[in-house]
A = this chain, B = another copy of it.
Amino acid sequence: MWLSTAAKGMWPFVVVFVCQLVTSSSATNPCCSYPCQNDGMCMTTGHDTYMCDCSNMDFYGDHCEHPTLMKRIKTWLRPDTETTHYLLVEPKYKWIWNIVNNLTFLSRRIMKVIYMLRADVLDSPPIYNSAHSYVTLDAAFNRSLYSRILPPVPEECPTPMGTKGPKELPDVDLLIKKFFTRTKFLPEPTGSNVLFSYFAQHFTHMFFKTDFQKGPGFQWGNHGVDMSNVYGKDKAAENRLRSFKGGKFKMQLVKGEEYPLPVSKTGAEMVYPKHVREEHKYALGHSLFGLLPGLFVYSTVWMREHNRVCGILAKTHPEWDDERLFQTGKLIILGETIKIVIEDYVQHLSSYNYQLLFVPDVLFGEPFQYQNRIAAEFNHLYHWHPLMPTNFNISGTVYELKDYMFHSELVIKHGFANVLDSMIKQRAGLMSHHNHGPGTLHVLRDSIIHQRQLRFQSLNNYRKRFNLAPYTTFEELTGETVMAAELEKLYHDVDAVEMYVGMIVEKRRHRAMFGSSVIEIGGPNSVKGLMSNYICSPQYWKPSTFGGEVGFDIVNTASMQKLFCQNIKGKCPVVSFRVPDYDENETIETWDGKLPHDEL
């Protein structure tokens, strides 16, 4: 199979193993079959030869298939991902975690390991974007594109997934009909509520900002947690929301509570359909957040929190002007956000009994890169529309989507506390197959089409990239037989299943919200994105950055509960991402196991 082998150490301390290999098929790019193992770099060396570059890796050999001794030991010592997950979520081991959670030293050690292991999987700086199927300088310098975790499948490959599967991928509408469309609402089995769904949406839209006009590979954001979802996309947008007094946002008082102002009073650039009344077009940090009242709730509460924090800062710092109060308030709000995302939001979605911590200082002195890029795959993986219920219940009134969308005023009408309470009580949907509500099917459709335009590699390639065993059969992927059989008809080979489609039909992990792929591919992107934030670097992470001990304490003690209850009039409910009446032993409704027979 191989022509010649030359494993030479050309550079001291850089282990370079290269070889010339020739494939049996001489017609196509031999790298289309992804012959290099363990993320070794495949490079053609002629029309039908290739090499695997294993430089700077823990593997060597013609195909980077042999782990080094150190890697072997590490692998042997480290429990596999499924075992780790089981240990973390299984109630019978809860007592261990109760002890760990109370031992600060141990708990911080574990958190450091989680940060490092998760972040290490990703390339930072990034080496790929959607413009090329190989390493370019542009991938690192051009910030107007999403990065790529795996490069696009080369155009010249025989099939869209390289060499496996059909020459043409299954019809999108057929896929949607068979595997995605919600027939009845399936509730999220770990008890997640609508407050959780909206948190995901409100939070992630500060960095998932596709520039559709340029193409699905382009983006217009800052590649990270920059709070543009609250403050606006740039300085001009920010200024339109500011009062320029005491560092605060310009807001209106309605029934004794602060609310965002209408667009007409701010000049903010917002997207609203024509039918929305002028006074109901609220000016928010993100131009699209008028879309759903839940996003209005989060926008409002963060604006109130900013104003509350500025009030505290102004008392501590009577000598500070509006600008400094504003800038420092923003730093505190960002700190609070990351604290809440890790300790409330990710805590909830992980289902771990181990209590996650936001402790940036454990990474000081480590080879950790304080920079981030949003990967196109992370964006698509985060399309969690099944979380959204079909109808929305506010204090007993059930709203159809059409009466709910672009009706932020419902929050004022029903009262902030009541709406919050309703969001806590309403169950989110199961993030899986047969549970995409009718309102978001067009987004799903576009998303799959874009993934194909971006030539995403197969789910199994992504699994290998994130140290997961690739699925060997369709049954193993779905954990059942009906969809498995149908998928096999459409994709022929389990190695050809598309990333997102595969993630949706994937069997759910033990006591988890998702299958293993979403967790193990999303996790590193999430942890890296949060902990690599500039404010987590030693230069930023100190009291003076946040206006002193008072501000630093606000960051270090932030929680969902406080975020809402310190900014609400009237009785504050128990703020949780889980419905209050959740019974973990409940029998939940699941897919009926049937597929529509007829083709489209």
Write the chain B residue with the least CB distance to A371.
Answer: B371
Give Cα A569 to B552, complex, Å.
65
A182 contacts the other chain (Cβ, under 8 Å)?
Answer: no
A331 an interface residue at 8 Å Cβ cutoff? yes
Interface readout for A313-335 with B: 1 if CB under 8 Å, 0 if not? 00011111001100110110010
**Is A540 at the interface (CB under 8 A from chain B)?**
yes
Is there a chain B Cβ closer than 8 Å to A554's Cβ? no
A520 near B: Cβ within 8 Å? Answer: no
Q: Does A136 contact B (CB under 8 A)?
A: yes
Name the contact of A371 in the complex, choosing from B10, B368, B370 (C-beta under 8 A): B370
In the complex, the answer to whether A53 meets B369 with C-beta atoms within 8 Å is: no
A12 at the interface (CB under 8 A from B): yes
Chain A to chain B contacts (Cβ below 8 Å), 18 pairs? A14-B542, A16-B543, A45-B548, A46-B318, A56-B539, A124-B539, A125-B534, A126-B539, A127-B540, A127-B545, A132-B327, A135-B331, A135-B540, A135-B544, A137-B331, A137-B334, A140-B540, A369-B371
Residues of chain A touching chain B, judged by Cβ–Cβ distance below 8 Å, are: 10-14, 16, 18, 29, 41, 43-47, 51, 53, 55-56, 104-105, 108, 123-127, 132, 134-138, 140-143, 222, 224, 226-227, 235, 316-320, 323-324, 327-328, 330-331, 334, 361-362, 364-371, 534-535, 537-545, 547-549, 552, 556
Smallest CB-CB separation from A370: which chain B residue? B125
Q: Are B538 and A56 in contact (CB under 8 A)?
A: yes
Quick check: B13 and A361 within 8 Å, CB to CB?
yes
B104 contacts A12, C-beta separation under 8 Å: yes
Task: Name the B residues within 8 Å of A539 (CB-CB).
Answer: 56, 123-127
Q: Chain B: which residue is nearest A532 at the CB level?
A: B125
Q: How far is the CA of A316 from the CA of B47 in the complex (A)?
A: 11
Known: A14-B541, A53-B542. A317 touches B46 (CB 8 A): yes
* Assembly CA distance A53 to B552 (angstroms): 12
A244 to chain B, nearest CB (A): 15
CA distance A51 to B546 in the complex (A): 13
A232 to chain B, nearest CB (A): 12
